[in-house]
Structure 1
Amino acid sequence: MSDTETSIVDRRWVAFGPAGAVGAIHQRADGYSVKLVGDDDYRGTFPTLDVAKSALHAALVPGSDRPEFREH
C-alpha cells in the first residue's frame, strides 16, 4: 500500500449525474482526491473540496451538467 492509500480520511462525496454515480471525492490528510467511476487511479489531489468538485466536473464529458455531490 502506498502512503497516499493509507492517508484516506473517513469522508467521501459521491458525484451523481442524471444517469447515476459519475465519480467520488475522498478526503485525505493532504487534500481531496478525485476519481471518476471506472478510473483505476486518482486523477489528482486538490487543496479544497470546492476545487476538487470543479476538477471532477471538468473531467466529465464536455457540456455535462455539474453533478450533485452527496457526502457518504
Structure 2
Amino acid sequence: MSDTVTKRLWVAYGPAGVVGKIQRDAEGFSVHMAGKDERLGVYPTMEIAKSALHSHLKPGSDRPEFREH
C-alpha cells in the first residue's frame, strides 16, 4: 500500500489579476506570491495563510479573492 497526498490550490486575485497562491499539502498551507520562485512560508491554517499573503501586498490593498482550483 502507498499513501496518497492530495494537494489543494487556491489562487489569490486582486483588481489587476493574480497576486499569489496558497497550496495545501502535508506540511500545511504554503504561500507563494506571484512572480516569486520561493515560498513566503508555511502556515497551520488557511486563514493565517490568507492573512500572510494579504500582508505582503502593497499597503492599503484590498484583501484578494481566493478561488480554489
Normalised by the size of structure 2, how large is the TM-score? 0.89
CA RMSD for the aligned pairs? Answer: 1.1
- Deviation track 1:14-53 (CA, whole Å, cap 9, x = no partner) reads 0000011100000010210000111110010000001000
Provide the identity percentage.
58
Q: For residues 59 and 9 of structure 1, do their structure 2 counterparts lie closer, same or farther at Cα, with a shift above 3 Å needed?
A: farther
Instruction: Identify unmatched segments of 5+ residues in structure 1.
Output: 1-7
Match of 1:40 among 37, 45, 48: 37
Normalised by the size of structure 1, how large is the TM-score? 0.85
Task: Count the aligned residue pairs.
Answer: 65
User: What is residue 19 of structure 1 aligned with on the other side?
Assistant: 16
Q: Structure 1 or 2: larger helix share?
A: 1
Q: Which runs of 4+ in 1 moved over 6 A?
A: none
Instruction: Identify unmatched segments of 5+ residues in structure 2.
Output: none
